[in-house]
């Protein structure tokens, strides 16, 4: 009788600690971006940017975040060129997301350059984080 | 003297008891041998977690044995335009990945297929696409476009594992080929 109860407690506490860790990563990064001038970041702006289409002169002339990730953060996406499955972006659907600062910075750099043709500003990155973490 | 006798008895008993274990083990050893030979005909599978993470997030983590070191050097120095995608790495990671690629490249590998890839490439050439190496072209020259490039479930020869079901394990054995929409491939 005690075992299911224990498992339940364990599950809940693991869940809480994971959720906290994820918040800590996001919080710490938001602070960094704020110190770099991201004073008016918000999830709405993040959503707008996520769905916005950018022009490119190369292959895939119309590019957006949704090109690979889809417009729904809770579902899996697919790499536009290689077809490789991309796990959902929303931490609620994929608990690994937004838990590793280095990884977040790596993908911001790569994907902003591919999609927008330039690196994202601190404000844009902060807005993306707020939108994805919502 | 009694002590020596009892030690001898113990050794004898252990030896006798362990005989069936050794016999039983022979199956396992054969299994291992087969696996080794099977693997050695292909290319080395990629198990390095850093490589799998950094090179396997967007595409299948191609075995370093599929291209020679000169190709990997060239590829690693142009990651900001990696076949049209941006795949930049931080300096430390880039260094580790480059070393891993060079240590296991086609010109350094003992795997049979890796050696075939290497032999097919003219010295001084450093192809960036595995699918453009002479060995690759030769192996795929009978495959009609409808099965790969015009097949929406395959799209490109770059997607090894779309048809080679054991590609990620380093095996490109003909028996493991399943072309989506067409099934087995018999040469």
Nearest CB neighbour to A79, from listed B58, B86, B90:
B58
As a whole number, mean pLDDT of residues B62-79 equals 97
Residues of B in contact with A113 (CB under 8 A): 80, 86, 88
Mutate to test the interface with B, among A83, A100, A109 (most CBs of B within 10 A): A83
Statement: residue B87 has pLDDT above 60: yes
As beta bridge partners, residue B164 has B177
> B9-29: per-residue pLDDT in tens?
655 555 544 444 434 333 333
Check residue A21 and give its pLDDT. 46
Of A50, A39, A49, A26, nearest to A123 (Cα)? A39
Chain A residue with minimum CA distance to B86: A110
Picking from A60, A78, A81, A120 by the largest number of B CB atoms within 10 A of its own CB, the best residue to mutate is: A81
Looking at CA atoms only, how far is residue A47 from chain B in angstroms? 23
Task: Compute chain A's Rg from CA coordinates.
Answer: 17
- Residue B26 is predicted with a pLDDT of 37
Q: Which pLDDT does position B8 carry in this prediction?
A: 60
Tokens of B75: 């590829």
Average pLDDT, consecutive stretches of 10 residues, N- to C-terminus, chain A (134 residues): 60 49 84 94 96 94 96 96 94 94 96 96 97 93
Record: contact A81-B83, CB cut-off 8 A: yes
The pLDDT, as a whole number, for residue B47 is 86
Q: Is this prediction's ipTM beyond 0.85?
A: no
Q: Which residues contact A84 (CB under 8 A, 6 or more apart)?
A: A78, B57, B58, B59, B60
pLDDT at B18: 47
pLDDT attached to residue B186 = 75
Q: How far is A80 from chain B (nearest CA, A)?
A: 10
Q: pLDDT digit string (tens) for B106-133? A: 999 999 999 999 999 999 999 999 999 9
The reported pTM is 0.76
Minimum distance, in Å, between the CA of residue B7 and any CA atom of chain A = 49
The pLDDT > 70 percentage for chain B reads 78
Q: Which two tokens stand for residue A126?
A: 């902060």
End-to-end Cα separation, chain A, in angstroms: 37
Look at B6 and B164; give whichever has higher pLDDT: B164
């Amino acid at each position: 009788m005690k075992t299911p109860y224990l498992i339940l407690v364990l599950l809940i506490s693991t869940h809480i600690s994971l959720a906290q860790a994820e918040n800590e990563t996001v919080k710490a990064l938001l602070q960094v971006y704020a110190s770099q001038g991201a004073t008016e970041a918000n999830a709405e702006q993040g959503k707008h940017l996520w769905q916005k289409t950018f022009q490119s002169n190369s292959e895939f002339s119309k590019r957006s975040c949704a090109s690979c990730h889809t417009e729904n953060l809770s579902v899996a996406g697919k790499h536009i060129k290689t077809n490789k499955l991309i796990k959902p972006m929303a931490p609620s659907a994929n608990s690994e997301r937004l838990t590793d600062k280095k990884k977040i910075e790596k993908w911001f750099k790569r994907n902003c350059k591919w999609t927008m043709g330039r690196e994202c500003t601190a404000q844009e990155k902060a807005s993306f984080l707020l939108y994805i973490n919502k | 003297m009694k002590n020596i006798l009892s030690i001898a008895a113990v050794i004898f008993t252990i030896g006798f008891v362990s005989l069936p274990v050794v016999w039983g083990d022979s199956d396992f050893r054969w299994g291992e041998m087969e696996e080794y030979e099977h693997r050695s005909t292909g290319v080395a599978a990629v198990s390095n977690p850093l490589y799998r993470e950094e090179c396997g997030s967007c595409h299948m983590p191609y075995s370093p044995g599929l291209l020679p070191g000169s190709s990997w050097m060239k590829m690693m120095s142009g990651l900001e335009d990696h076949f049209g995608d941006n795949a930049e790495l931080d300096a430390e990671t880039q260094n580790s990945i480059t070393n891993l690629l060079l240590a296991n490249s086609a010109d350094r590998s003992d795997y049979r297929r890796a050696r075939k890839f290497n032999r097919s490439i003219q010295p001084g050439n450093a192809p960036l696409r595995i699918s453009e190496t002479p060995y690759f072209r030769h192996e795929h020259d009978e495959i009609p476009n409808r099965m790969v490039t015009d097949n929406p479930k395959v799209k490109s020869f770059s997607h090894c594992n779309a048809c080679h079901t054991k590609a990620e394990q380093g095996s490109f054995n003909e028996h493991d080929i399943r072309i989506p929409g067409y099934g087995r491939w018999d040469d």
